[in-house]
A and B are shown apart, each in its own frame.
Chain A
Amino acid sequence: MQTLHTLFKDMNMPSHRTSLVCDILRSINILSEKQLRRQKNIFLFGMSVSFMSILFSLFFFGNSLVQSDFWSIFSIIFSDISVIVLHFSDFGFLLLETFPVVPLLILFVPVFFFCILFSLYHTKIQSIHRLSY
């Protein structure tokens, strides 16, 4: 039995060219590749900036870290471990008091960003290999 639904579905309509679907898929492919490449470049740029910051902080704060009181006290571990065992709590407090918070933060913030960007970059590289419409 004919209904409006069947009438509309059976209607002769102008049709699009057969290659339209292929063209659409090709356009999406180009677009997604472009997006992924742009994101990949942003991550690469971020990683380079983080790496430069790590070098910069090592150059300016590395020396102060090595020559700090913290490091001198910490190095006792390698020379006089028996003394440390006897005065363990004093040693711990001393380490805490001399802990170089600012130089370590300055060093670890770019390292942290570098690690995050590296993992995102790795994910994007995998996506580029997987996405190929």
Chain B
Amino acid sequence: MAQDDEKLFFDSSSGKKESLKQLVEKYTTPLYHFIFQFVHDRQTAEDIVQDVWIKIWKHRTSFDQHKSLKTWIFTIAKNTTFDFLKKRKMIPFSFLQDEDESYIFETSDEKTIFPLEMLEQEELKKEMYAFIEHLPESYGAILFLAYRDDFSLKEIAEILDEPYNTIKSRHQRAIKKLKEAILLKMHPKGREDRIKSKV
């Protein structure tokens, strides 16, 4: 799959227009969703996606064949988005703050964190995006890259230019926060009771 993409990329670099078209069609939507996480504006996200592809095309000769094309494309997307946010002085705060590295779960198995009955809820499918939108940008981006675009935590660390342990800890926090948000939505009463009982 990844090798197919790399073949398409090299074919497009040597002038095959159909290969470039396939590559752009495949990655434009995931890139758009990734960028939208940070800018929250359709038009801006579309403009940045366009800039990303132009950068990819301009720097096509600098792509390292031993690395993953998908990771490289998303790294360019992240850098372009952050450059845009820097210009607008809108850098997501959650990407600048220090993380407490000690806050790392031993397991990252989603099934142990999300009970199956919770994942089976149809309502959850509909409202998932709203839950993600309310998480800090860094958490949302990690969850999207991990579960929608199938990146490993190591690849996410490379894309976001952060240490692996930071990404691992953020991933766990993101999962925990997502679970809390879902629980709050599903059982608002129970949550209130628990808060009251704590008080």
Contact = CB atoms under 8 A, between A and B. Distances in A.
Contacts of B87: none
A16 B15 contact: no
A116 B32 CA distance: 44
A132 interface: yes
Contacts of A101: none
Contacts of A4: 110, 114, 119, 147
Interface string A1-33: 111110111111111110011011101100110
B21 interface: yes
Contacts of A66: none
Contact of A8 (B17, B21, B45, B147): B147
State the majority secondary structure of interface residues on B: helix
Contacts of B46: 16-17, 20
Given A4-B119, A5-B147, A20 B49 contact: yes
Given A21-B24, A21-B25, A7 B124 contact: yes
Contacts of A24: 24, 28, 49-50, 53
A11 B127 CA distance: 8
Interface string A108-133: 00000000000000000001001111
Interface in B28-57: 28-29, 32-33, 36, 42, 45-46, 49-50, 53-54, 57
B119 to A, nearest CB: 4
Contacts of A12: 126, 128-129
Interface residues of A, number: 30
Interface in B91-135: 110-111, 114, 116, 119-120, 124-126, 128-129, 132
Size class of B's contact patch? 35 or more
Contacts of B147: 4-5, 7-9
A77 B173 CA distance: 91
A10 B120 CA distance: 13
A130 B15 contact: yes
B53 A16 contact: no
Contacts of A131: 15, 17
B166 to A, nearest CB: 21
A103 B111 CA distance: 82
Contact of A16 (B29, B126, B129): B29
Contacts of B36: 13-14
B53 A9 contact: no
B53 A27 contact: yes
Interface of A: 1-5, 7-17, 20-21, 23-25, 27-28, 31-32, 127, 130-133
5 contacts: A2-B125, A10-B125, A15-B29, A21-B21, A27-B50
Interface of B: 15, 17, 20-21, 24-25, 28-29, 32-33, 36, 42, 45-46, 49-50, 53-54, 57-58, 110-111, 114, 116, 119-120, 124-126, 128-129, 132, 143-144, 147-148, 150
